[in-house]
Chain A
Amino acid sequence: MFKKLSYKKQEKVIVCLFLFVPLLFLIVFTFLPALYMFRLSFVEWNGFSGVKKWVGLANYIEIFKNPDYFKPLLNSLYYFVGGLLQLVIAFYLAVLLNSKIKGKSIFKALYFFPFLLNGVAVSLIFIFFFRPDGTLDSILKVLGMGGFIQQWLGNSKIINFSLAGVSIWRYIGLNFIVFLGAIQSVSPEVIEAADLDGASEWQKVLYITLPSVRSIMELNFILTISGAISVFEIPYIMTSGANGSSTFVIQTVNTAFKFQQVGLGSAMAMVVLVIVGIATIIQNRFFKEAE
């Protein structure tokens, strides 16, 4: 029966069959739970009781009325700025490692390595790094900069900077490798032509390299926004969100599971989804027009 179909039709059938399994996973583990959560955001439920009380938009109103719930959103700004800094540093390192220097492979591996580590392990290591008389304090003392020692996590004014720093260290590897790949794909003839025209290194970066990584920059910008809104792992494991380091997603998890208000927690998760969605749309419009 299969042989009787035209080649095009056979192709279609094979493609559909192969797509069936991943689609099944996507629907069962992503879309269905998301739809269920959307429904949960309109009820009041403690997570296990048989009773779910319908409350309409009350959960959403609570999120925007009660500062307890929307204040942690402000902490995302630290991670957003950190993310931008991350892009700049990653680009700089990629440009550096594209030039003629010794030991390229070692440095490439060193910069990429943190990204391969498990996020929980990274968070636990940095707790020891930042604790009083821990690694950072010891290094500063050895360098004679003991006067700069602060309570990196104990001081609520700088705790978010410390955590954003950990985030930069953790995720810079991916940006770096992607930028490096894009830079290396620039045609060598263009570089030669620029050399012949007498362009300086800086001019080459500005007018050749930067435009060639433009589309990656755009993608990373949107990832930075969605990453900053949904920061969870690093602050949750290092400080569980205490001392002013709480983020919106940490608040969501606590609301749903500690305070047993699953409806409110689901509403908060929907808010994250909407924010990221809006950011994506804006970025698409903005960057598409620029082209």
Chain B
Amino acid sequence: MKKVISLVLLATMSVSVLAGCGKAATSSTTTKKDITLNVLTSRTDIVGTTLKKFGDDYKAKTGVTIKWEGITDYNGDVKVRLNSKNYGDVLYIPSGIPTSDLGQFFEPLGKSTDAKVKDYAFNTTYATKETDGTYTTYGLGYGMSADGIVYNKATLKKAGIEKFPTTLTGLYDACAKLKAAGVVPVATNFKDKWPLSQYDSMAIPMSGDANYNNVMYKETAPFSADKPYGKALEVLYKLVSSGWVEKDLTTTNWEQSKPDLGTGKIGMMFLGTWAIPQMQEFATNKDDIGFAPIPTNETGKLVANTGIDSCLAVSKNSENKKAAQDFLYAFIGSDYGDKNGFIPAKTGVESTNPVIKEFIASGVTLLKATPDPEAADKMSKIGNKATVDFYGGLYTQNFAIAAKKSRAEFDKIVKDYNDKWSKAKTTLNY
């Protein structure tokens, strides 16, 4: 009897191990009303609030249920999931995917000149160029973000800065005044790495050419002080070596920096228009938050690198491709972008955020690149081989640390990365 019991137990255990395998009951015969779309998002901060509300409203309108999946390490996790067939129905396109691979994972939305597609700016960023010269678009975005400086007007006024500087020297003077007033002039948010991506973005205004990244891969010593990326890193050097940043870079805290800016402990942060609503949330006075372009020279002419924020795409393995596409257009065409600090990507739609309107009205020229997928691929491949993670912040951290130590250390690191870049470029034969 005991033997029978133990054998039955063993059999049950074995079966329970295998129970996880095999597909769940497929809902291939669903009626239109039963469709559930899995939408992956990196915005874990609003997945339960803003996004959930959007999903509920969408369900009320169309009967399609939206299941949001917020992922913290979005790029890392989703890129691994791309190896499987399970990465949602609609998802933000993770970083680092060569445009030649887009068709492997995503469903084409149409040609860039097709009816709905052509309404959106940057519709050739996530697209592949066909042999006949047309672009097949895979991803579209809800909003653009201009890069610049988020600052606290009240804090600057208290330190004696009436108008936001429009020259680089003026910026440095402002930093000195803020430091004298006991405020952290510029918060780098070094620890989280991604905020340092601003120093990559700064290369565009430094070069004055919106399409600089399309030719950047041709450089052999891109981090030297006379080249755009080098110039941006020189700004980083000046800020760190003058002590105009946080006291201890390794222990910065992004979430803490938001109320610190709002309550006057930090003066400025190099971020983008997308950060405006987040800063306003924590400010003692919402109207204290201002946004200005980064002054990159002495001419006083202001430009801002403007790019598309995350783009959404439809998974190639989705079982409800038409419904997913409909949702995608509904989301990007809604006021989500506008309400979250983005400049609407849909042509003809104006921003309603007062800070952004003030920013655009200041006469700044928005630099928008014409995407060149091949050039972008080359730049990113050389970067990966040279351990330069553009817009990732890891390599920028090393420059910041060297800047803190000495000028000689900084020069050494510039040389190191130039050498790594040119070696990688030669190995890849680009």
Contact = CB atoms under 8 A, between A and B. Distances in A.
Interface of A: 2, 14, 17-18, 20-21, 24, 46-50, 68, 127, 130-132, 134, 151, 153-154, 156, 159, 239-240, 242-244, 254-255, 257-261
A48 B384 contact: no
A68 B387 contact: yes
B118 interface: no
A20 B15 CA distance: 13
Contacts of B13: 21
Q: Sorted from nearest, which 3 A-B pairs have the closest CB atoms?
A: A154-B248, A131-B251, A153-B250
B97 A132 contact: no
A159 B250 contact: yes
B193 interface: yes
A243 B405 CA distance: 11
B1 interface: no
A130 B82 CA distance: 39
A259 B395 CA distance: 11
B159 interface: no
Contacts of B397: 242-243
A242 B190 contact: yes
A258 B104 contact: no
B59 interface: no
B10 A17 contact: yes
Contact of A21 (B6, B17, B389, B401): B17
23 contacts: A20-B14, A21-B13, A46-B96, A46-B98, A46-B384, A47-B79, A48-B80, A49-B98, A49-B104, A50-B104, A68-B387, A131-B248, A131-B251, A132-B248, A153-B250, A154-B248, A156-B401, A239-B191, A240-B193, A240-B394, A242-B190, A242-B401, A243-B250
Nearest to B94: A48
Given A50-B104, A259-B387, A261-B385, A153 B83 contact: no
Between A47, A159, A243, the greatest number of chain B beta carbons within 10 A of the residue's beta carbon is seen for A243
Contact of B394 (A17, A154, A254): A254
B101 interface: yes
Interface of B: 3, 6-7, 10, 13-14, 17, 76, 79-80, 82-83, 96-98, 101, 104-105, 190-191, 193, 247-251, 384-385, 387, 389, 392, 394, 397-398, 401, 405, 420
B392 A258 contact: yes
A130 B389 contact: no
B248 A48 contact: no
Contacts of B405: 156
A153 B104 CA distance: 44
Given A153-B250, A242-B401, A24 B384 contact: no
B97 A48 contact: yes
A154 B384 contact: no
Given A154-B250, A243-B249, 14 more contacts: A18-B10, A20-B14, A50-B104, A68-B420, A127-B251, A154-B247, A154-B251, A240-B191, A244-B401, A254-B394, A257-B79, A259-B389, A260-B96, A261-B385
A259 to B, nearest CB: 4
B251 A21 contact: no
Contacts of A14: 6
A48 B101 contact: yes
Contacts of B97: 48
B251 A132 contact: yes
A2 B105 CA distance: 52
Given A48-B83, A49-B98, A260 B384 contact: yes
Contacts of A50: 101, 104
Contacts of B394: 240, 254, 258
A32 B398 CA distance: 37
Contacts of A130: 251
Contacts of A46: 96, 98, 384
A92 to B, nearest CB: 32
Contacts of B83: 47-48
A47 B397 CA distance: 25
A154 B191 CA distance: 11
A48 B249 contact: no
Contact of B80 (A24, A47, A153, A239): A47
B251 A153 contact: yes
Contact of A242 (B10, B14, B82, B191): B191
Given A20-B14, A239-B191, A258 B389 contact: yes
A46 B97 CA distance: 9
Nearest to B386: A259
A50 B98 CA distance: 12
Given A21-B17, A156-B401, A240-B191, A48 B82 contact: yes
A208 to B, nearest CB: 45
Contacts of A20: 14
A132 B249 CA distance: 10
A255 B249 CA distance: 23
Contacts of B80: 47-48
Contacts of A21: 13-14, 17
Contacts of A255: 387
Nearest to A153: B250
Contact of B76 (A18, A159, A239, A257): A257
Contacts of B191: 239-240, 242
A131 B252 CA distance: 9
Contacts of B14: 20-21
A156 B409 CA distance: 13
Contacts of A153: 248, 250-251
Nearest to B98: A49
Contacts of A68: 387, 420
Contacts of A132: 247-248, 251
A165 B387 CA distance: 30
B384 A259 contact: yes
Contact of A261 (B7, B250, B384, B392): B384
A243 B401 contact: yes
B332 to A, nearest CB: 24
A242 B392 CA distance: 13
A132 B252 CA distance: 10
A261 B96 CA distance: 12
Contacts of B190: 242
